[in-house]
Amino acid sequence: MRLVVLVAALTVLTGGPAVAQASGPLEDTSSVEANGHRIIQLSVEVPAPPSEVWSALTTSEGWRRLGVSFAQVDFRTGGMIETGYAPGAAAGAAGNIRNQIVAYVPGRMLAIRNVQAPPGFPHAAEFAETATVMELDPVGEDRTRVTLTATGFAPGPAFDTLYGFFLRGNGQTLEMLRDSFAAE
């Protein structure tokens, strides 16, 4: 269960009801580079304007909307997105997930890298070698295409496990983001 929770916080969120298929299915355009490194690339259309989706990805309130018990966002390059799923989670708790903001383009792109996984998370060192980029593209006035791209999944057993886990989990995350807006 803790692993599913990590997926949610690392990339924007986990599980959730299949409410909004009218908003479009999840699209998987994942690929493999010439050097054997795998790229997870998933997209979904969210029934909300880019400004609202951006807020969900860059504010403490937005992360709480996506099912975390605790969220604290220090939104700046080098800042942190810290989330916790345990009841009563608080800043600095050992079980929290911390993602460093690597770069962003306001309202359009957010790049993060995990710097703290929960204790016991398998292959945490290898996971720290990956990065996740979330891109927002307007689709009409009140819709946004969100594309999540995760890179750095090298060949080998540890990365095989991580790739499979995050391919499923990131898909659930995007569906939850979509469904959280569709439910409004």
What are the pLDDT digits (tens) for 84-109?
988 889 999 999 999 999 999 999 99
Q: What is the pTM of this model?
A: 0.85
- The residues, any chain, with a CB within 8 Å of residue 157's CB and separated by 6 or more, are none
Please tell me the predicted confidence (pLDDT) of residue 23: 60
Please tell me the predicted confidence (pLDDT) of residue 15: 31
Residue with tokens 């504010």: 59
Give 64-69 contacts, CB < 8 A, sequence gap 24+.
65/180, 66/8, 66/12, 66/13, 66/176, 66/177, 66/180, 67/8, 67/13, 67/14, 67/15, 67/16, 67/176, 68/8, 68/9
Please tell me the predicted confidence (pLDDT) of residue 89: 92
Please tell me the predicted confidence (pLDDT) of residue 108: 98
Please tell me the predicted confidence (pLDDT) of residue 66: 76
Residues in the chain predicted with pLDDT less than 70, given as ranges, are 1-23
